Structure 1
Amino acid sequence: MYEISADPARLDVARVHQWLSADSYWAKGRSLDKQRAAIAHSLNFGAYREDTGEQHAYARVVTDLTTFAWLCDVYVDPAARGNGLGTSLVAAVRDHLAPLGIRRILLATADAHGVYAKVGFEPLADPTRWMSLGH
C-alpha cells in the first residue's frame, strides 16, 4: 500500500532527480539545481510505501492555486509500475486541486493517455486554439 502526500519535506529530491534526468523522455539531462528550483516553485506529490516510507512515485503541479494548473513530471518507479500507482497518484492530485475551484488542469503525455483518461482527462476539444513558445 502507498500513502500519497503533498508534503515537500518528504520528497526524496535526489531520487526524483535521478528518475527524471536519467529515465524520463521529457526531462532527460535536467540538472539537480533546476530540479530543486522546479520543486521549490511547484506543488509536489509523492507516493510512499506505507511500510518503509520509501518514495516510489512523483508528480508536480505548476499552478496559481486559483484558476489554472499544469500537471507535469509524473513518474512511477519502474519496480512499482503496473499496479495502478500512477492512476492513484494522478487521482490524488485531481482530488487535492478540486476544492480550489481550478477551472482547467492541463498536461502533455506521449505514452500515458490511458492513465490520465481513467481519472477524467480527455484530449483538448479544440487544440487549434492552443499555442506554445519553445519546445
Structure 2
Amino acid sequence: MFCDIVAGRRESHRVLDAEDAVAFLDARPLFPGHTLVVPRAHHETLTDLPVPDVGPFFTQVRRVTAAVETGMEAAGSFVAANNRVSQSVPHFHVHVVPRNRKDGLRGFFWPRSRYGSEEEAAAVAATLRSALAP
C-alpha cells in the first residue's frame, strides 16, 4: 500500500516528496496533522533500512516533525515507529503526531478518527507543506 502511495498509484495527502522519503497524512489520524514518513525504497522494518539510509531518512523525519509542530501550532509531538508488532502496513514508517497538554492521549489506547472531508485533509496537508523548512 505505501509503495503505491510513494509511486503515485494511490491517492494520499502528501506533505513531503523528497529523494529519500515521502510523508503523507495518516488516513486515520490521532489528531489533524498526524503524518506518516516512509522511506521511498521499500523496507519492511527499521532493521531492514540500510545503514547509509538511516541518517538521510531521519533527517526528513526531523523536518516533518518541525513542520507538524509549527503548522499545527502544537506544543510538541509524538514520534514513533512500530517494528513488526502492531505494524499495520509492512513498510517501515514513522508516525509524527502533534501533541498539546491535556489533548486526551493516555497510554497506548488512543482513539483514531478520520478527517471530516477530503478538503479538510487537503488543507492540513497544505499547511504542513508550507511549514516545511527548506
Q: TM-score, normalised to structure 1's length?
A: 0.41
Q: Answer 1 or 2: which has greater strand percent.
A: 1
**Structure with bigger RCO (C-alpha 8 Å, 6+ apart):** 2
Q: Answer 1 or 2: which has greater helix percent.
A: 1
Q: TM-score, normalised to structure 2's length?
A: 0.41
From the CA coordinates, give the structure whose radius of gyration is larger: 1
